[in-house]
A = this chain, B = another copy of it.
Amino acid sequence: MARHHRTAAILSIGDEITLGQKLDTNSKWLADQLTTLGITVSIKMTVPDDLAALAARFKELAETHDLVLSTGGLGPTADDLTRLALAKAIGDEVVEDAEALSQLLAWFDGVGRKMPEANRVQAMRPQSATCLSNAKGTAPGLHAVVDGADVFCMPGPPREMQPMFERFVVPVLRTDRVVLTRVLPTVGLGESAIADRLGELMDRDRNPLVGTTASASIVTCRIRYEGDDTAEGERRLDETVELVRGKIGDIVFADRDVPLAEVVLDRLRERRQTIATVESCTGGLVGEMLTEIPSSSDAYIGGWVTYTNAMKTSQVGVHPDVFEKHGAVSEECCRAMATGGRERSGSDYAISVTGIAGPGGGSAEKPVGTVWIGLASPSGVRAERFRFNGDREMIRQRSATAALAMLWKAIKEPRA
């Protein structure tokens, strides 16, 4: 058994993953858990149901890591080879585990069925391994020591694997390292512009380490301390967070991993104010993002998808002349949509979006990606022109995020 568990490898087993039929969510979940525990996941591997290859990987990973966690391949069918592969990697015989067998029989008894003969193989284990009982299914897990590394084999279904990890793996993990992280989500600047601002704060050899990940228009700044002293780590994290905020504080909208829509709704709730939406090119996406957050109805009262000009006129009162004179994608139309939405819904704020998401509908003057975003508030109405890059989906995503960002900027300060 490893004195300390510093490095870990995660092995996902099964044709359904290498054939691309199934998305592997177990390795993300396990990596997240191990990282939080201060154990570095230095590799994840996914291999098909092939006995020789599987045994070779168990051996290779055990030789190069303190901890190996596998998921999958513990079922009752012929292509479930994890038990045999582990035995082969150890050089063990496979034996039947009496305790596991009785638990298996009890499990089927519990669901009022006779155990199919095929399931009996699930009670088999390598001679030197121990079985880990499965509270949620038939497949017992396995624990063995291979080349001094702790190897745990767990079933594939997350609802069986996760409790097994918490009950049998976590208690035996020993780490002498402290890993602490902070997360600062931002909106309004791209990853490279943020990197320019952060400069040497992003040096790879810095501790805490500062990195960024981008998704649509949200760039999340991640700060990670790795060392052996929790107090020291927290102190350094606070210090680095301050330095980062000094560079990009104006675009940081939270101090944890949280959607922009949730921050906007929380702020509105604090201010006892409400928001309505009037969407054209985003077609309901802004409303969808807001209502994705539980109990959003405290602050979001609803809105309109005014996709045609007729709907813009009949539902939020955009005067037909506006389309004549300026077109539907114009500052005038955008302002009228926001104003009409605020008046007709009785909300404190209304955001409006009108633009050209493409692929068609663009012109030299108003190319695809041209989007007007408006905000009507107690202090008046304003609209801003954006030019987004990307395909239809990306333009819509960026437009909706920009709309939430415009509202966020208007309400981020406590109410006067």
A residues adjacent to B (C-beta < 8 A): 12, 15-25, 27-35, 41-50, 53, 75-79, 107, 110-112, 116-119, 136-138, 157, 159, 190-193, 195-196, 202-204, 211-214, 222, 224, 277, 279, 281-288, 290-292, 294-297, 300-308, 310-311, 314-315, 344-346, 358-360, 387-394, 396
28 A–B contacts from the bound complex (CB under 8 Å): A18-B31, A19-B31, A21-B32, A22-B28, A22-B213, A42-B50, A45-B46, A76-B191, A77-B202, A77-B212, A78-B203, A112-B387, A116-B195, A118-B195, A159-B393, A277-B305, A284-B286, A285-B288, A291-B305, A294-B358, A297-B308, A302-B304, A302-B305, A302-B311, A303-B305, A304-B304, A314-B344, A314-B345
Query: Quick one: copies of this chain in the complex?
Result: 2
Please give the distance in Å from A179's CB to the nearest CB on chain B. Answer: 9
Whether the pair B291, A21 counts as a contact (CB closer than 8 A) is: no
User: Within the assembled complex, what's the spacing in Å between the Cα atoms of A8 and B393?
Assistant: 30
Whether the pair A23, B22 counts as a contact (CB closer than 8 A) is: no
Contacts A192-B118, A284-B285 given; indicate if A392 touches B310 (C-beta within 8 A): no
Whether the pair B303, A304 counts as a contact (CB closer than 8 A) is: yes
Interface residues of A: mostly helix, strand, loop or mixed?
mixed
Whether the pair B112, A77 counts as a contact (CB closer than 8 A) is: no
Please give the distance in Å from A220's CB to the nearest CB on chain B. Answer: 9
Please give the distance in Å from A183's CB to the nearest CB on chain B. Answer: 9
Contacts A294-B392, A305-B284, A314-B344 given; indicate if A29 touches B20 (C-beta within 8 A): yes
Please give the distance in Å from A414's CB to the nearest CB on chain B. Answer: 25
Please give the distance in Å from A38's CB to the nearest CB on chain B. Answer: 12
Closest to A283 in B: B291
Whether the pair B75, A191 counts as a contact (CB closer than 8 A) is: yes
